[in-house]
Amino acid sequence: MSSEFKLLAQYNTWMNARLYECAGQLSDKQRQEDRGAFFKSVFATLNHIMVGDLIWLRRFADHPIGHESLKDLDQFPHPTALTSIPFTNWEELTKARQKLDAMIEEFAGEITVLQAESSLAYSNTKGIPANKNFGNLVLHFFNHQTHHRGQITTLLSQFGLNTPDTDLLLLCEDA
């Protein structure tokens, strides 16, 4: 399972770089324009992905096995609501995304089979406790990003931009 997590982390980095490059063609006003999406704008949706990542990575950092790769999470904001906008500046958001994606790739490489099969106790953003399979939570973490990047692709298309291909298949090695 470790190789699958590594592939998903590489895909995450690759897709974020491509979408940020595409979104970088827009003005700040366009990126923040309410386009009727769940999180309204390209900018708010990108911030939501960051918020979700930070919340989950902090939960993962609390796993009893430990993660050296997540020791520097305190360099990032501590959002508590899924609608938080921790980065109000495009350049700061872009740099934070790149830094966090590198951390995620390192984290994915640390996950062992034993850990993936273990459980993680945590509380959700409403304070409700949960205890779930760690590997499945990591899969959810990556799926959450993919889901919202699909929304961003739609928003960028609405601006007439040629959005990049988003298929994981493009990173799969030939047999």
Residue 86: inside a domain: yes
Q: What are phi and psi of 108, to 5 degrees?
A: -60, -35
Residue pLDDT, tens place only, 47-93: 999 999 999 999 999 888 888 999 999 999 999 899 999 999 999 99
pLDDT digits (tens, 9 = 90+) for 148-167: 999 999 999 999 998 878 77
Count of domains forming the chain: 1
d(CA 155, CA 35): 7
Question: Exposed e or buried b for every residue in 72-92, given b needs 16+ CB within 10 A?
Answer: ebeebeebeeeebbebeebee
101, part of any domain: yes
Q: Please write the tens of the pLDDT for every residue from 132-145.
A: 999 999 999 999 99
Nearest to 48 by CA among 145, 156, 163: 145
Residue 131 lies in a domain: yes
Q: Count the neighbouring beta carbons within 10 Å of the beta carbon of residue 96.
A: 20
Residue 24's nearest CA partner among 13, 14, 16, 35 is 16
Grouping H, G, I as helix, E, B as strand and the rest as coil, residue 59 is helix
Residue 142 inside a domain? The answer is yes
Residue 114, in any domain of the structure: yes
Asked whether the predicted pLDDT for residue 113 surpasses 80, the reply is yes
Looking at the domain assignment, is residue 175 inside a domain? no
- Report yes or no on 14 lying in a domain: yes
What would the pLDDT profile of 20-54 be if each residue is shown by its tens digit?
999 999 999 999 999 989 999 999 999 999 999 99
Flag whether 23 is in a domain. yes
pLDDT for position 46: 97
Give the Cα separation of 117 and 85 in Å (integer). Answer: 33
What's the pLDDT score for residue 1? 62
Name the residue among 30, 72, 80, 89 with its Cα closest to residue 55. 80
Go through 37-53 and write b for each residue having 16 or more CB atoms within 10 A of its CB, e for each that does not.
bebbbbbbbbbbbbbbb
pTM (2 d.p.): 0.94
Structural domain span for residue 48: 2-170
Confidence label for 102 from pLDDT (cuts 50, 70 and 90) = very high
CATH of the domain at 143: 1.20.120.450
Nearest to 4 by CA among 141, 100, 162, 155: 141
